[in-house]
Amino acid sequence: MEAGSYKPTINPSWTLFLDRDGVINVESVGSYITNWEEFQFHDGVLEAMRLLSQVFGRIVVVSNQRGVGRGIMTLDTLREIHANMQSAIKRHGGRIDKIYAATAVSDEDHNRKPNTGMALQAQQDFPEIDFRKSVMIGNSMSDMEFGKRLSMYTVLLTSKLEPVAMPNDIVDAQYSALIDWAATAVAAEPVQHG
């Protein structure tokens, strides 16, 4: 769709941070995915995850899941959804190394995006993570702000927002779907990280 002039050279020293709803699965706008039966992968995501697993050293999901804090679903149900999601991705040749979920209701919670708590947890779990060698892919401006607070390369998926004017202070590239960016990232010619 549209990228800025800079495209990172992805290699196994890089980490991919992914939002879940609207990136991996079809988002239930105005509601929550409360069980596995409601979960539906976006078109091309399983192939995208296979491709991205070949080039990124680490892949983690960082997802705001306020529905748990509001009592709409249990933490056990959320874990079941995530276990099923990871299994399906693995069966198709992809991987997710770990999933982090911010379940607090308050926007002030340090884990809730755009706050950076989930990324800092990931770095504790995987000390090799370098945020300057990381990509954040999400479908909201809070995802983009989360990434930029840590100097990540940010990719906006326009699954719920209109494309933004480029260049943009917090969006480095934008695509309509994860598979579109994955195909570009995997085929990208090497360039130096500026």
Sequence length of the chain is 194
Determine the Cα–Cα distance for residues 60 and 72; give it in Å rounded to an integer: 24
What is the rounded average pLDDT of the residues 32-48?
96
Beta bridge partners of 173: 3, 155
Determine the Cα–Cα distance for residues 104 and 68; give it in Å rounded to an integer: 8
pLDDT for 171 equals 97
Determine the Cα–Cα distance for residues 25 and 5; give it in Å rounded to an integer: 29
107 catalytic? Reply is: no
Inter-axis angle of helices 45-55 and 75-91, to 10 degrees?
Answer: 80
Q: For domain 2-126+144-155, which CATH number applies: 3.40.50.300, 3.40.50.10090, 2.60.40.10, 3.40.50.1000?
A: 3.40.50.1000
21 catalytic? Reply is: yes
pLDDT for 4 equals 58
- pLDDT band at residue 188 using 50, 70 and 90 as cut-offs: low
pLDDT tens track for 86-144: 999 999 999 999 999 999 999 999 999 999 999 999 999 999 999 999 999 999 999 99
Residue located via tokens 């149900």: 77
Q: Could you tell me the residue ranges of all domains in the chain?
A: 2-126+144-155
- pLDDT band at residue 9 using 50, 70 and 90 as cut-offs: confident
161 vs 170, more confident: 170
Residue located via tokens 């991919």: 16
Which one of the listed residues 21, 43, 125, 130 is annotated catalytic? 21
Which one of the listed residues 19, 76, 107, 172 is annotated catalytic? 19
Dig out the tokens for 34 from the structure. 């409360």
pLDDT tens track for 145-166: 999 999 999 999 998 889 999 9
